[in-house]
Amino acid sequence: QTTSADICLSPAQFDVEPDTLFVTINPNGISSATITLNNPGVCSIDWTGLVDIISKDMYNLLFEYPTVVGGGEAGIETDGEYIYTTKWNGNEFYKYSLNGLLIETFTINGVTNIRDLAWDGTYFYGGAASTTVFIMDFDNQTLISSFIAPTNVRAIAYNDNENVFYANNWDSDIIKFDVSGTMLGSFLAGPVGDSYYGFAYDNITGGTYLWGYAQVGASQNELIQMELPDGQETGVCIDIGATLSGSVTSLAGGLFIETGMPLYSFVIGGLVQNEWLWGIGMTSCPWLFLNPNSGTLTSGMAEYVSLDIESSCLSLGIHEADIFFTSNPDTDTSIVHLILNIINTDPPINLTISNNCVEAELCWEVPPDNYPDSFSVYNNNQLIMTTTNYCYTFEGPENYECYVTAWYNDQQSEQSDIITFEIPWPADSKPVNFIIDSLTNNTVYTSWDEPTGCAEPDGYNVYRDGIKLNDSIILQLSYPDTSTLSSGVYEYYATAVYFFGESDSSNIELLTITNLSEAVTSRIKIFPIPTSEYIYLQSDDMIKNIRIYNNSGQLVFDNKPNSTKYKINVSMIESGIYLIKLDTKEANLIRKIIIE
């Protein structure tokens, strides 16, 4: 018999890019990265990929905070938001923040000398080394009820899968019971575990366990793992005294396990009596998946492999992995190193506005345990500024619609809630007490006082008959009009100039320039003055126009009688001093009148 086979005599070639990947992701996030595989040779190759997660220490120290109280501080538990401790020789409870700051001391009427604590998601449970188990509401600081357990209760843990408790007193049998006090099982303590002060239930780290915090071992702070349901010790023992960086001279106290603390995916924590609140990380988990993880590349072929990432069980910070690629025919193994940074990228919260005249300060906060590098401020969907501050000041009257985003390692968060606000035009922004000081040598001298409002102007403009006289902004409170004016009546006023615009006009002042002789002006009669009903006008010349201005320069009456006699009803005009301007064929005349 004969057979044949294709033989490729060229060396195998296999390229993998890139050699390093950097990925930033939120807690409980999903992301992916792409690796490119190339076969630049003439022979086909088979390839295989393997993910190797470089895990953090299974029991790495996450935090240690000194106790604030001491003198009997022994029991401990957390609800994921706060850490609570008890006093075995008193009735006080202590409420700590998650970063170890004492927030509050409180008592619960009828409860004292509590040792370890357990939490079922709503209420806290604890005993005083007797059979009574107290059910307590720490939010309202009240005793809900109590029940009798089938053992004296010092160490206690809650099993949320079965809604049952485990408890004992020092080295007594560890008893399983429900909230009615019915005994459901038991097992012996030991052989290593003894003198237990705290228990915690664990269904996270790959099995179902009860952890005990015992006053045994070199530092009398030994953490011991027992497998449920029979309570056999697994051989996992951790000397907390050697784990903590601070000096440990006191005994083991209470214990807790929590999966909902913001900084960590899973924590077992306890209390070295009177000395330390501590927490250690208790889990590593699969979080990186290669898809596909094998294949064939023909000559000149490229394939794109996806690295799928899930961060739900990872703590904040840096996590690393190596992805190994091998081929057949064999080439050198290619390694891609992945650096995963898990950071909170929540948007800013609690946006507030405080107004100050023509400015409004926008401020914001970030959720706890978020550490952004900077913030971007937007108005009407337009980027205004990127800043490292937690406040930004808007200037000038306008309606605003703003939101803020946060930046984390070049990754931008979602936008915050939108906040709308208005900076109104400031009141009393125009100049006051505008006057014409004099007319000297064809120069009209004017002056005024500053606005009385909150805003400070950059300068002023002066107008004659609605036309601005100054080329550049006036910095002083006076202005000389050097224009050569002919006979007539002129209206003068000033405005204030701000960075955000120009104010309304000041009061209007009228200037009359006339060369008429006394004989000409005497031919015009205005009577009676004062009056409350009518003003009578009489002129030897035709009266072409009549205008009346109030003391602020506002026009209150305007008519063109084209007659030598005219009667004006002023009963509807408010009492005060007014100026009446008459235009005749021969003269322009202004007189002061009084309306009562």
- Residues with Cβ < 8 Å from 299, sequence gap 6 or more? 39, 41, 42, 43, 44
**What is the predicted pLDDT for the residue at 360?**
94
From residue 540, alpha-carbon distances to 393, 520, 522, 585 in Å are 66, 9, 9, 10
If one compares 442 and 586, the residue with the highest pLDDT of the two is 442
CA distance 167 to 186: 10
pLDDT in tens, 106-153: 999 999 999 999 999 999 999 999 999 999 999 999 999 999 999 999
pLDDT in tens, 184-223: 999 999 888 899 999 999 987 767 999 999 999 889 999 9
Question: Is the pLDDT score of 564 beyond 70?
Answer: yes
- For the segment 539-544, the average pLDDT, to the nearest whole number, is 85
Work out the pLDDT band at 384, boundaries 50, 70, 90.
Answer: very high
Question: Is the pLDDT score of 510 beyond 60?
Answer: yes
**What is the predicted pLDDT for the residue at 427?**
92
How large a percentage of the chain has pLDDT more than 90?
59
Work out the pLDDT band at 282, boundaries 50, 70, 90.
Answer: low
Work out the pLDDT band at 551, boundaries 50, 70, 90.
Answer: confident
**What is the predicted pLDDT for the residue at 226?**
94
**What is the predicted pLDDT for the residue at 518?**
45
Q: Which of 482-486, 509-513, 536-540 has the lowest mean pLDDT?
A: 509-513
**What is the predicted pLDDT for the residue at 446?**
93
Cα-to-chain-centroid distance, residue 73 = 36
Q: Do 338 and 23 form a contact (C-beta atoms < 8 A)?
A: yes
Question: Is the pLDDT score of 56 beyond 80?
Answer: no
Backbone angles phi and psi of 587, in degrees to 5: -155, 160
Q: Which of 126-130, 131-135, 370-374, 404-408 has the lowest mean pLDDT?
A: 370-374
Question: Is the pLDDT score of 561 beyond 70?
Answer: yes
- For the segment 378-392, the average pLDDT, to the nearest whole number, is 95
CA distance 278 to 243: 10
Q: Do 422 and 398 form a contact (C-beta atoms < 8 A)?
A: yes
Q: Which helix (DSSP H) or strand (DSSP E) does residue 242 occupy?
A: helix 240-243
Question: Is the pLDDT score of 587 beyond 70?
Answer: no
If one compares 262 and 178, the residue with the highest pLDDT of the two is 178
Positions of E strands within 39-110 = 45-54, 61-66, 73-78, 83-87, 92-96, 102-107
Q: Which two tokens stand for residue 11?
A: 């060396």
Work out the pLDDT band at 235, boundaries 50, 70, 90.
Answer: confident
Q: Rounded mean pLDDT of the chain?
A: 89
- For the segment 266-292, the average pLDDT, to the nearest whole number, is 85
Question: Is the pLDDT score of 465 beyond 80?
Answer: yes
**What is the predicted pLDDT for the residue at 320?**
84
pTM: 0.45
Backbone angles phi and psi of 243, in degrees to 5: -75, -40
Please count the residues of the chain: 596
Q: Do 513 and 439 form a contact (C-beta atoms < 8 A)?
A: yes
- For the segment 421-435, the average pLDDT, to the nearest whole number, is 93
Cis peptide bond upstream of 426, omega within 30: no
- For the segment 518-542, the average pLDDT, to the nearest whole number, is 78
**What is the predicted pLDDT for the residue at 519?**
46
